[in-house]
Amino acid sequence: MRKGSHAYEQALDALVGILRDRARQGAEPLQYGQLSNELQRLGHQVAAHEGPMPHLLEDACARESADGSLPMLSALVVRQETRMPSGGFFKLARRAPYRRTGDDVELWVNELRALAAHHARR
C-alpha cells in the first residue's frame, strides 16, 4: 500500500474512525496488533509494526489537527511490551506543529487526557 494511493486513503479513513471512536469511549489505549486486526476486519491489510502503519498514524494526527492544536490520535496506540506508544509517537509529538513537552510518560498521559476531554464534548 503506497502513501497517497486510494487504498492508503481508505485505510487512513478507517484508522481515523477507529481512533476517534476509541477516544469518544474514554481514550483507552489499544495495541498495534489490535489496531491492525480492526483495520483488517474493515478490509484493510495493514501490518502492526511495518509498512504503512507509522505513516497512517502520523497522517491521522495531521488530518485531525493540521496546526497541532488538538490532541494527537496516535497517542491511543501502544506497544504490547511496554503499554506505551513507540518512539515514533514521541518524536512526532515533540516536533512542529505539535511541540509537546515533558518526559515521555507525562507527555503521553497529558495527550490521553486531552483526547478524552476533547472527544467527550463531541
Average pLDDT for residues 77-97, to the nearest whole number? Answer: 95
Contacts 24+ apart (CB under 8 A), 16-25: 16/60, 16/63, 16/64, 16/73, 18/42, 19/60, 19/73, 19/74, 19/76, 19/77, 20/64, 20/73, 20/119, 22/76, 23/71, 23/73, 23/76, 23/115, 23/116, 23/118, 23/119, 24/119, 24/120, 24/122
pTM for this model (two decimals): 0.92
Tens digits of per-residue pLDDT, 24-74? 988 889 999 999 999 999 999 999 988 899 999 999 999 999 999 999 999
Q: What integer pLDDT is reported at residue 122 of this predicted model? A: 62
Average pLDDT for residues 6-15, to the nearest whole number? Answer: 96
